[in-house]
Amino acid sequence: MRRRSFLLGWFPFFHRPKIELSGIPFRVIYHDRGSHRYLVIHGDEDTARDVMTKYMSDHKGVAYIVTGKQREVVIRAVKVDPNRLFSRAGAEFSIRGLNTDIDVERLIEVLDYLDDERGKLLHHLLPPRDGRLFALHNNRDYSVQDELAASNRTSIKQPALPRNFFLCTDPRDYETLQQSPYNVVLQTDPEPDDGSLSRLCARRGIRYINLECAIGEYDAQMERVQWLDQHLP
Ligand SMILES: [Zn+2]
């Protein structure tokens, strides 16, 4: 592992190396790479960052945690939601919305850059075949209610806590998660392609689980992370 780390240029920062993917700086945490991958992609979701950092101190897998503090990232002087750049169409929609006066040349240049970099980004974030990808998010004005219509199956055991819920792309993971006392939705449809990681994973048949919790609810988020850890292989 150390040799591989050295070859990747991570050697001096073995425990907490940094890496830039698609122009976005991430901190990487792992002590045993294992098969599972973990992600915090929105910089303003401090609770998710804190839970992930604590969890990774004694679990296998590789966690990528965005180092910026804003929700949007700036790539080549253009603002974009980092969870919308997993497809060209999604990135374009996000960039147009966040940079209303952008000219077409600049837009194409950024989209081409993101196309070029996407393979490397996915090489890092996507798990090997026997693994899963687990992303942590926090919300301020969003809840499972917003996802019900787009979901194949839903299990709402905590209707009074709609902001705390799992979203997964694999029916087998849903079968396990819906046995939990928590809110869970399954989304297997890759369309409409909004450029998010969940749509990409649905398209590629990758086990992806997203845990949303209200910002600030550290204990609630950690409790759900631990439930998943103990029940989902
Ligand atoms: Zn988020």
The alpha carbon of 166 and the centre of ligand 1 are apart by a number of angstroms equal to: 13
Average of per-residue pLDDT across 187-204: 95
Q: What is the pLDDT of residue 15?
A: 57
The alpha carbon of 34 and the centre of ligand 1 are apart by a number of angstroms equal to: 24
SS3 assignment for the chain: CHHHHHHCCCHHHCCCCEEEECCEEEEEECCCCCCCEEEECCCCCHHHHHHHHHHHHHCCCEEEEECCCCCCEEECCEEECHHHCCCHHHHHHHHHHHCCCCCHHHHHHHHHHHHHHHHHHHHHHCCCCCCCEEEEEEECCCCHHHCCCCCCEEECCCCCCCCCEEEECCHHHHHHHCCCCCEEEECCCCCCCCCCHHHHHHHHCCCEEEEEEECCCHHHHHHHHHHHHHHCC
User: Residues 13-67: pLDDT tens digits?
Assistant: 445 689 999 999 999 999 889 999 999 999 999 999 999 999 999 999 999 999 9
Q: How confident is the model at residue 166 (pLDDT cuts 50, 70, 90)?
A: very high
**pLDDT above 90 (res 194):** yes
What pTM does this model have? 0.92
User: Residues 135-157: pLDDT tens digits?
Assistant: 999 999 999 999 999 999 999 99
The alpha carbon of 129 and the centre of ligand 1 are apart by a number of angstroms equal to: 25
**pLDDT above 80 (res 5):** no
The alpha carbon of 3 and the centre of ligand 1 are apart by a number of angstroms equal to: 34
User: Residues 219-230: pLDDT tens digits?
Assistant: 999 999 999 999
User: Residues 60-100: pLDDT tens digits?
Assistant: 999 999 999 999 999 999 999 999 999 999 999 999 999 99
